[in-house]
Amino acid sequence: MTVTDAETRCIERDGSGMEWLDISSLMTLGTSELGVGELLKTESMTLYMALTSMEVMEPRLDMGMLTEEDKHEIAKWDVNRVLSLREVLWITQKLFYCEITWHSSASLLQTLYMCNYFTVQEIPDSVGSGRGAENPGRDLVLFPMIFALGACCLQVWKEYLKENIYAEEDVHFGSQPVEFFNQFSHSQVIEMMGTARGYLQEISTADNVDVREQEAAGVLLEYLEMRVLWLKTLTFLSVDCMIDDPSALDQGTKCLQELRARHSAFQNNPISDDLAVMVAGCFDPKCMRKYPSMAPVKPRPLLTHVQSHQAFDSLLNDLSLVHPLLQAESVESLINFFTCFANQQPMPFVRSLMASIFLTNNLVLLRYSPLSFIKRAIREISGPYVWDVLEYMEREPARLATGNTRVSQILVQDPLAAVSRIDGFCQEAARNLMDWFRIMCQNAPRQRRICLKYLTSWDVLQGEAEELDSWLYVISSSADNRASEMEAVNPAFNPFWFSSWAYHMKLMMMENALQIGVRLDLYLDYELPMIYGYGAQILQSHFDHLRRMETMLAGKTGQNKQLVREQSRRVEHKWWVGQYVDESTCLRHLSRWLVYVEAQCHLATALWLVSHACERLRLVRAPWARRLQGLSGDALDTCRQQETNDNQAVRYALRFRTFSRLNSPTPLTFGGWMTTVGQLDESSASELFAHASRTLGKARMVLDDGCNMLGNMDDGWRSKMQELRYVAVANSVALAKLQNLSDVVQNQALQVSGSLALAHRQILLGAAQPNAGEGSQSTSASEKETGGCGSAMTAAAQPSFASASVSKSKAKREKKKRRAAKQGQEQGALSKASEWLMATDNLGVSVVWSCCDASPQASNWHQFSFVIADKPASSS
Amino acid sequence: MASDTAIEYTTYEKETDLLPAIKLIECDLSEPYSIYTYRFFVHQWPELCMFAQLAEGGEQVCAGVIICKMEEHRRRMMDGYFADDKEVLMRGYIGMVAVDKRFRGRGIGRRLVSMAIERMRHMGADEITLEAETGNKGALAMYEAMGFIREKRLYRYYISGADAFRLKLWL
C-alpha cells in the first residue's frame, strides 16, 4: 500500500511547523483485510505488553482523554485563588496524608502528585520574599510548606535511588517534580519557613483577625515546626551526611527525639473537624495525565487523619533504630537486630535506609570493610582457635617456612598462600553475608523468596568451606603426626570451623524461610503438621550442630595460647570488628543459640503433635476433606483424588523442593515423613495433647534457664527469649483449654488411635463411593499412609458395593450368604466409623492457627502459635 | 433462574463470543483490561478460553468464563519431582475466571477450572499456576479444594495495592 496523491494533498502544517498527514483512508484500507478482532502482533509480544497496552479514547484506559466530567473538575481549580489560613490548613493536612500514604507504599501519582500546586509553572515573586503579598496564605505559608515537603521527599527519594527497594514498593518519583522542588536550596526553604513562622505568629496574636483563622494559624505553626524538624532529621540521618559529618548521627537523633515529642503532643490535642476548609479542585485524582506512566493508575483512598499520624509515629519510631544500629558492637547482636527488624516490616524508606547504613560504598555500618566484618562474624561463632593459627602464619611466615617456630606443631610450607586462600574464602562468604543482611531489609514476601533462592549459594559456600577446613586441618597438624586425609574429613577430629559457621547460617535461613511462610499465611491448616514436623527436624539438626560446635570449641580452649601474642589480646582496637574474641565469649554466643534453637525445636514439636491430633479429630481439615459429608458428584471425585498418597507426595515435594536439593541437612523425604508420622499412630489424640503439653513445658524451662544464663551479655537476646517464652505460655494455655473442655474430655474420638481414625476415614470415604474398585484404591492408599498400621481393620471393612446378581443355584445362594455376612461386617465397621465421625463433629470447638494472635508483641514477633476459639465450631 | 441442566459449556470460536465474557469479567475487576489483553489469550490459545452459557428469557447468557494460556517455562530449580534433565516445563496459567453473581454457588467456576485443568493436562502441561487476591477467600477455597497450594505471596501485586497468592498445581 502506498500513500496516494489525494492523501498527500491532505498534509497540513500546524503552527509549530509540524506536518500532519491524515491517514484515515489508508487505515481503513489496511484494516479491511483483517477479520473482526484479529490481532496483529510480533512473536515476542508478552502478556505484560498486552496488559500495559491502552485503547485510545477509552476513558478508563486512555489517561490523556478528557471527559466532560473531567473538564468540569478542572474548571474548579484556580491557582490565583486567595486562600484563607483555614483553606491552607486543609491543603496542608491533605498533603500530609498524601505524603504518609506514599511512605506506606502508594504511588506518587495516587498521592502527592494529585496536588495541583505541584504543577504551577511560574512561582509568584512574592513567594519566599518575605514581603507582604496579595495572597499571603498561599505565598507566605502554603508554598513554603510545599517546598519544605518537597525537600523532605527529595531526601527520601535520594535514599530510594540507592535501589535497595524494588519497584513493587511503588515509590517512583519522576523528573518533573524534582525540578519543581529543586528551585530552592535547603537553606532557602528553611528561611522561607522562618518567614512563614513569623507571619503565622503574627496572625495568631493579632486582635483584628477571625478567631477560627487564628486557630488555623496555631495548627499550621505546629505543622510547620514538625516539617522543619522532619527535614532536619532526614538530612542528618542520611547516609551521605553521616559519612561526611561524624556529629550528624547525634544531631539527627536529637532532632528525631524532639520531633517525636512534638508529634506526640500534637496527636494528643485533637483539631476540630470543621476548622479546615476544603479547596475545590485543588487535588486532581486523574493527575496521571500530566505525567508519563506505563499503566493507568487507579486513585486509592488516602490514609485518614488518625491513620496518617499513627503511621508517621510508627515511621519515627522505626527511624529511632538508626542509632542503636550504628552502636552495635557484635555481629551476633546485628543478626538479632536485623531479624527483629525484618519481622516488624517497617515502611520502605526505613528499610532502604537501614540497608544503606549497613552497606554503602563497600563499607559496613559506614566504617568497616566487609572482609574484617566477615572474619569477625565467623570468629564470634567458631571461636579464636583457627584465627590464632592464621594470625601466627601471617605474622611469622619465615619461621613457619623453615620450621624454626615457637610452635612446633604447625607445619606449613607456604603460610602466606594459606592466608591468601582463607582470605579468598572470606571474600566469597562476605558477599553471602552482606546479601543476608540486605534480604532482611526487604518486604516479607521478598525476604522469603530470596532466602529460599540464596540457600543454594550458602550450600555451595558450605561445601567450599568444608574443603578449606580439611586442607587447613592437614597443613596445620603436627609435623610428627601429620593428619591423614581420612582424619581431615572426619567431624570427630576436624572441628570444621569455617563450614560450621556456614552451616549454622544456612540452617538459620531455612528456619526463617519456614517461619515467614507462616506469617504470610502461605500454609493451609492441613499442611501445618507437615510444616511443623519439618521445622522441628531442621531445628533438631541445628541444635545438634551447635552442640557439636560447643564441644569442639570447649575441647580446644587454651590449646593455642602460645600462638597469640599477649598484647594482641590486650590491644584495644579502634573498632570492635578488630577486637579479640576469646573462647568464653564464643561459648556464650553458642549457649544463647543453643537455648533459642532448643526452645524453638520444642515449640515446633509440640505444635506438630497438636496439629496432627487436630487433623485426626477433624478440627483441621484439608479443603477437600471439609466436604467429606454429603459427598456426591464432583465433590466426591475431588475428595477421592486429593486423598491419595500420590497427591500428598506431590504437595510435599512442591513445598520442600528447595530443601530437598541441599547437601545438608539430610532432607526428610516423603517416605521418611510418612514413617515419622506413622510413629504417632498408636497414640490417641489425648495422649498426643498430653505429650505436646509436656514439650511446651520443656520449652518454657529451657527459656527460663536461658534468660538466667544471659547475665549482662544481652544483645537483644533477652527480649527475644522472653517473647518466645510468651508464645510457649500462650500455646500451653490454649492447649490446656482444649484439654479441659468438658465436651472434649468426654469425647470418645480423643481415645481413638491414629490407625483406627485413619481406617474410619477411609471406610467413610469408600462407603461414599459409587463403586468398589475405587474404594479399594483408596484403602490401599491408607495402608501406604500408615505404613501398614491398621491394615487388618481396613481390609476387613473393605467396602464392596458391586451389585449382587440374583442366582437360582445353591452355589450362588451360598455365595450370597457369604456376601451378606461380609456386608454385615462392613456395615458394622461403617457404623463404628460413623460413630467416630459423629464424635469428631461433636467436639464443639474450633482451632485457629495463627502466627500472631497469641502474642501481644504481634507487630514485632512471629512464631508458630494457635488459639482455641471460644465459640463452638459451626463447620462440618 | 435456569436449572443446572441448562448450563452449556462452550469453547471460544469467534470475536463475538468474547464480548459478553469481557462484560462479565469487568464486573469483578478493579481495573479494566484493554481488549488486547483478551485477544492475546484467545488468539493464541482459543481452546483454553471456555464459557458457561445458559438460557435466560429466551436468550443465551454468558454465566461464566475462564481464559488461560500455556507456555514453556525454563526451570530455575531442580525440585526432585520432575526429571532433572527436563530443562523446560510446560506451564499452564489461568488468567481470568469470572462467574455472573446471579449464578454463583452452582459449581460453574469449579467446573470451568476443572475443564481447563483437564485440557491443559492433555496438552502436556506439567504445572498450572494462577494468582488470586489474598482477600478473595472464595476463590482461594475453590482452588485449594482442587489441590492448588499457595506457593508464594506477591507483595502489592495488584494496582490497588493488594497482595496476591501465587497458587500452583503440579500435574
Q: Which of A36, A38, A658 sits opposite B77 (nearest CB)?
A: A658
Q: Report chain A's terminal Cα–Cα distance, integer Å.
A: 69
Q: Which residues of B touch A65 (CB under 8 A)?
A: none
Cβ atoms within 10 Å, residue B21: 23
Nearest CB partner across the interface for B170, out of A58, A296, A650 = A650
Cβ separation of B150 and A523 shorter than 8 Å? yes
Position A122 confidence tier, pLDDT thresholds 50, 70, 90: confident
Q: What pLDDT is attached to residue A315?
A: 96
Question: Which residue matches cell numbers 477450572?
Answer: B113
pLDDT in the model for residue A4:
57
Q: Which residues pair with B12 in a beta bridge?
A: none
- Which residues 59-88 of A are in CB contact (within 8 Å) with B? 60-61
Question: Which among A54, A623, A660 has the least Cβ separation from residue B145?
Answer: A623
Please judge whether A444 and B35 are an interchain contact, meaning their C-beta atoms are less than 8 angstroms apart: no
Which of A60, A168, A448 shows the shortest C-beta gap to B32? A60
Confidence tier at B56 by pLDDT (50, 70, 90):
confident
Report CA A500 to chain centroid distance, whole Å: 26
The predicted model gives A277-282 an average pLDDT of 92
Contact B81 A657 (CB under 8 A): yes
pLDDT of residue A757: 74
Closest C-alpha to A383, from A550, A548, A575: A550
Residue A172, chain B, CB below 8 Å: the answer is no
pTM: 0.83
Chain B residues with beta carbon closer than 8 angstroms to that of A36: 14-16
pLDDT at A855: 42
Query: Which of A62, A107, A298, A518 is the best residue to mutate to test the B interface, defined by the most B CB atoms within 10 Å of its own CB?
Result: A298
Q: Judge contact between B41 and B67, C-beta under 8 A.
A: yes
d(CA B69, CA B46): 9
Question: Each residue of B134-157: pLDDT tens digit?
Answer: 999 889 989 988 889 999 999 888
The answer to whether the CB atoms of A53 and B78 lie below 8 A apart is no
Indicate if the pLDDT at residue A436 is higher than 70.
yes
CA of A416, closest CA in chain B: separation in Å?
39
Angle between helices A772-786 and A754-767 (to 10 degrees): 160
Question: Is residue B59 classed as helix, strand or coil in its secondary structure?
Answer: strand
Q: Is B165 helix (H, G, I), strand (E, B) or coil?
A: strand
Chain B residues whose beta carbon lies within 8 Å of the beta carbon of residue A521: 134, 150, 153
Here the cell at position A260 is: 517525636
Q: Write the pLDDT tens digit of every residue in A597-630.
A: 999 999 999 989 998 888 888 777 766 655 444 4
A 284-313 → B contacts, CB under 8 A: 295-298, 300
Of B37, B110, B156, the CB nearest to A50: B37
Facing residue for B160 by CB, picked from A298, A449, A657: A298
CA distance A37 to chain B (A): 6
Distance CA A829, CA A625 (A): 20
pLDDT in tens, A653-695: 889 989 988 998 998 889 999 898 888 888 888 899 999 999 9
Do the Cβ atoms of A255 and A62 come closer than 8 Å? no
Work out the minimum CA distance from A450 to partner chain B, whole angstroms.
11
B156, HSE (Cβ side, Cα atoms, 13 Å): 17
Instruction: Give the confidence band of A251 by pLDDT, cuts at 50, 70, 90.
Output: very high
Give the gap in angstroms from C-alpha A41 to the nearest C-alpha of chain B.
9
Reported as a single tens digit per residue, the pLDDT across A293-326 is: 655 566 678 999 999 999 999 999 999 999 999 9
Contact B134, A521 (CB under 8 A): yes
Contacts of B170 in chain A (CB under 8 A): 650, 653-654
Rounded-to-integer distance, Cα A464 and Cα A458, Å: 10
Q: Where are the beta strands (DSSP E) in B17-160?
A: 49-56, 59-74, 88-99, 127-133, 149-154
Whole-number Å distance between alpha carbons of B52 and B7: 6
Mean pLDDT for A499-512 is: 94
Report the C-alpha gap between A468 and A500 in whole angstroms: 12
Of the given ranges (A498-512, A711-725, A756-770, B23-37), which has the lowest mean pLDDT?
A: A756-770
